[in-house]
Amino acid sequence: MTKPINVLTLGPIRATQKDLEDLQADGQFHLFQINEATVEQFHSKIKDISAHHDISVVMATYSPILRRLDETTFLPLLPHLRLVAGSGAVDVDFLTKNGVYYANTPVAVSDPTATTTVMLILQTIRNYTQAAENVRKGDWVNGLPFTPNVHGLVVGIVGMGMIGKLVRDKVTALGMKVVYYNRTRLPEEEEKGATYLEFDQLLRQSRLITLHCPLTPATRHLLSDDQFAKMQDGVFIVNTARGPVIDEEALVRAMQNGKVARCGLDVYENEPKVHEYLASSNRTVLLPHYAAFVDTIFKDVETEALNNIKSWMEKGVPNTPVNDPNRA
């Protein structure tokens, strides 16, 4: 019989506890679980467990306490750690350098994130924050400008993965025109009417730019002063990807000088802190990293993470790897 692997769960298990316990009862897992009240307690427990057990797999769930999984989290688990599966802000570069797969849960979060993106797109274009503020103050339409019609408006999608494709489909149904940039151009049959552009071309031609790329060293501050300078005056910006993909100080400068008319954000460079200018402006639509907060999300995310673990156990590769540690 194959020796059971040691699996460590980080964060609350809300939907798949019985599945995990069944796998342990079947002799496939030896299960360790941590869900603490502070970050320091999380890290202390990780060190305690790793001192006595070789942990091969980490299953990470959403925790309002342990918001980032990085070197401090993973270093005590080396050199035995081989897979991290789940959701959260994960230091993928550190895992890759140390021969560890990271498998995220793109299917579970894709549709709610895409729907939230489209909501932010519409609210940003139609000046939702200022309009709602007017109603609450009793000002009605006084001082409200006319806004662009979304029909025919050019939306530039940066990153045409699963979420980007869903956003494309949803905004196309609303009559918007889609251009996109991706590291690799999609096959024509997958573009579904979207037009591929090089990155600088997309910056110049898009009336609204929405970001759907992962956070990597190459995409950190993907939008900064040089990129904003290439955009149309009065451009709209939406970000539901990762906060540091945008240089937040540069975004504020672009809003202050009128280059960016309005923005819709669900993610921020220094979460949960929000830049004072963005928080106080009525030209921003702001959400608290809320895109995936739907009532099925925990079951969907945990099930997808668990399926990644099973795939790795059976084939040596998870279903949805973000990295390839074998090429590091």
Would you name the residues annotated as active-site residues? Answer: 242, 271, 289
Measured CA to CA in angstroms, residue 46 lies from 74, 80, 100, 205 at distances of: 9, 13, 17, 49
How far is residue 44's CA from residue 35's CA, in Å, rounded to a whole number? 12
Three-class secondary structure of residue 110 per DSSP: helix
Neighbours of 273 (CB within 10 A): 11
How far is residue 309's CA from residue 56's CA, in Å, rounded to a whole number? 10
Q: What residue type is 210 in one-letter code? A: T
Measured CA to CA in angstroms, residue 99 lies from 74, 192, 311 at distances of: 12, 37, 17
Nearest CA among 116, 66, 117 for reference residue 89: 66
How far is residue 310's CA from residue 328's CA, in Å, rounded to a whole number? 23
Q: Give yes or no for a contact between 236 and 147, defined as CB atoms under 8 angstroms apart.
A: no
Angle, vertex CA 273, rays to CA 116 and CA 285, nearest 5: 35
Q: In what order do the strands lie in the sheet with 29-34?
A: 29-34, 5-10, 57-60, 83-86, 101-103
